[in-house]
Structure 1
Amino acid sequence: MATASFSEKVSDDFIQCTICCYNFKKPKVLPCLHTFCAHCLREWAQKNDGDTFPCPICREQVSLPENGVEGLKDNFFLASLVKAVTEHHKVRHGQDGLLCTTCDEGKPATSRCSDCAEFLCESCELAHRLQRATKGHTLFTFEELKTGKYDGVFRTRKVPPCPKHSGEILKLYCRTCETPICNECALFEHRDLQLLHNITRIEEVATEKRKTILDLTPQCQAQVQFFQRTEEVQNRLKEQLQKNTELARQNVHQTVQTMVALVKEEGERLLACIDTEETSRKKQIEAEIEGAQIGLASAKSTCEFAETLAREGGDYEVASFSQDMATRLIDLTKPPIGTVDLGLVNIPVDYSVMGRKFEQNIPPPGQYVMLESTERELRSLLKGASPSQTSKHGKYK
């Protein structure tokens, strides 16, 4: 059985913006951990015209920084993942466009260094093998990379440079400030005489945070199942509402035929009331379905992001996202809060006005509800989604 390649292991949905449906370009991550292209978020924020805007997926309100969308946190993990998948795809399929990243001559690349995470042209490859600092590095030609045996090379990414100190890389982590730092940061900015900063290697922190993420992620699957079952129940309610509405209409038509001319006008009024009731209740159910779908998408995307970050992310990336990720995952482990009003499918038909017109032949009030067996089935399904109980009045709490 063939093993999936690196680019096949990362789904297109994971590296594509849900607004423009293209691979992320300069991805920005919101506090709810949903990511979008910077230009897509800029247009989205302009449409909302304010200091805050709702996340396009989960609707959580986001406060814009002083410098706008540019001030939002860069999702360097997804940016590097998109770059790695794109490069892998081009190499595997022999596409043009990969140039040497170590020289300025614009020559096509012919190999990749697994230690430097750089593409090399023939000249740079020769120099790379001869220089003392790099002659021990492992290089792979494009022909070797096309075989798929060395897909791990594409996962290799450079450690990000320190934005404050030129030439320094972020290889340390300050537990006190909860941020990656470089040696210069550790010597000066994180050396407070009144506060002893806890500084350690970023690899150690990444190992701890990766375990925390992987421990929390499975617990969130209950939330995913909750929204899946809630969506299923709401769709069933929508179908039942349509059936009950049709039964109510049929009864009204029969009653109008019995009452003939004296009750025809009243019958039309009843039909209008049923249509109005259906429209109102249908809108409520559809709103609940949308809410369940939003919750499901949010929970699934968060879990997928967490698993992929833990599996594919570098130490710096895992450590940088760890606190936000842990907070989000912990929120998802909390008991879900949801209410499903099973009574929305019940359509009342009031014949009192018709009775005053034709008292001798007025039929009893009509009430079209779901079968008790169907209601029990839906209640059982909801109980399976959450430990919460169903109320006596058809509402799921």
Structure 2
Amino acid sequence: MAERPSAAQEALSKVEDQLSCLVCLEPYTNPRLLSCFHVYCQHCLEDIVAHNRQGQLECPKCRRPTPLPPTGVSGLQAAFNVHHLFDIQEILKKVKEPQKLACEKCVKTTRKATSFCRQCTKFICDMCTTIHKEYEEFEGHEVVTLEKVEGDLIRLVSPKKTSPHCPKHDEKMKLYCEPCGELICRDCLVHIHKDHKYCVIADTFESHKKEILDSLGPVEKQLEATDTALVNLDGRHAEIVEHGGTIATNIHSKFDKLHQALYAREGELMAELEGHTQQQLKSLSAQRKEVEILQTQRSSCLHFVRESIRTGSPGDVLKMKQGVVKQVRELVDTFDPNTLEPRETTNTCFVPSAQLVKDSKKFGGLCCVNIPRKAITEQKVTAYYRFLCPLNSAPPEAKLVSKLTNKTTKCAVKERGQGEYEISYQPTVGGASELIVRVGGEEVEGSPFPVAVKTPIDKLGTVIKTINDLKSPRSVALNQAAEIIVAEAAADIVSIFSPTGDKLRTLDTRGTAVGAMKNPRGVAVDGDYNILVLDAGNHRLLKFSRGGDLIAAVGSRGDGSGQFNDPIGVCVNSVNGKVYVVDYRAHCVHIFNSDLTFSSKFGSEGNGNGQFNSPCDVASDRSGCVYVVDAGIDRVQVFTPDGGNLRQFGKRGSRNGEFNFPLSICVDSDDLVYVGENWNGRVSAFTCEGVFLKSFGSIGSEPGQFKSPFGIAVDQCGVVYVSDNGNNRVQIFS
């Protein structure tokens, strides 16, 4: 049996645990105190700050941030109490083997130590112990035996209290400056803290110590509360475990009684499924015979007529013509193409009942569902639902729910006979929706079924939702999860909203540091959910992950490659993955690779084809062509992905198809082009060739009106999102 470790060994192990840094797992070097009262090595904390993108210091254990002083980590409070533990560690190492412990007071002697002096922090022999008791200079020293030391060394060892030296004047700091809360020396008092209220440390220590201890009162109460809470939580944990066991016993008891009935019901359902399957196969076999007859009739017709023409005389052929042609026409007219489509499907599934009842024959049933995946606004859409088992069950329930507005459209359910039902609905809101189908209170397999409600362009223009209380929204974009991303220029943030308009998170690192933003203008999303932000105030392009981590930052103010002079609009080309940035004052478009390395640029100041006069926004279509809206010339120009000019459309005016200082542009999945106009206060839609289709909106603050529509985005269903800058909102149209 292993020997039980001594008290000194146990104490040493406990102390060494307290002296290990949780980051490097080594003994502390230059220990520093965080605001959460956790202690780490100075070099470990410096590594944490160096690897933090914002240069912040977060506690590795509790994640609480600690403000850094101007001098960095080295300026944090030194954890001087740790040095006392190092002293205790050294003494404990000696106490661990008392038989080898020699007196540390005697000169040139090997007398065995038998006691320990707290004030001297030395081990002493019997002779030195006697001297401590008899000599006046040792009056007040507390000497204890080694047995007592081993039992309570941590309490017995007195901390070394030394007066710190002034780093500026190399003398002891014996004064305390009240206004500054600093230790100072006499020279500091004369040269730096002149006229400040000060006191001698020895005279004021007790009052300040009392103030510090008094401040711990609320902490002690909170600690008591947490201790009580932990006891209560442990008690509740035990109650829940015990209660769970009781419920589990009840569940097992109930289901033991149900198992036999369920096994019997399983057999009935399997037999019914077998009957249903055989019925389907029989139906398909009969259909196959019908098709074989059709095949034989037409094969005989072709063979007879062709052989008659080949072998008969002209007279014979003409003699039979009238009758044969009539028979052929009758054969063609009686042909039904629907006969060729299989009448039976493989969409049978099992639908359990909503709850177990005493009559186990009502538990479960078979059904098959055929739900359309797309619907068109203003048209009545019908889905067919066949409920096969049991036939006497309640009919299905269905509803269509808009994912954008949460608006529910009631569905009509009509029985067609033989367990088959017809579900019909007429969507009133465009965008992504879900069809929810329930039988007996339980959703059928596959429910909810996605339904993409496409908004016809001629019906577009109704406000279905508004996101208010934004701060100068300059641009809007959508990611693959239908989240709404808005650049709020006046707040120096980018906000991300759910499809229903609830705020999810923000990118809000303000300032000029890398990753910070000042006056964000354009936003776009690439194929990996990454968010591209034009940091106009700092003349650069930022790339963030969906969660908000900075991935890359490029650009600076200037006229060189990859430099900007007021970047305002951005898009990601879905064909080549490149990023296009419109530079308002440089009158050009920059092209970056997907990793934001500079590729090329095109355009110059002027009114000719391929030139710009205050370009404001950029977009691309399915083929990769690039569309640039040019506010100064009131037109849209279309380019190849490399910047070759293809065509242009638009001119100044207020009539349909004309522009008045266009600010924003977007191209949807059908290559329809949407342009937001500042002074006309509207959004106009065109074909990719520039043919006018539709416009909506006017100048104002009412729903459907605009004051500077700076940004446009369109989802897969044709729902249009407009950042209404002057009204501090995003309006959503269907």
Larger radius of gyration: 2
TM-score w.r.t. length of structure 2: 0.27
1 or 2, which has the higher strand percentage? Answer: 2
1 or 2, which has the higher helix percentage? Answer: 1
Q: 1 or 2 for the larger relative contact order (CA 8 Å, sep ≥6)?
A: 1
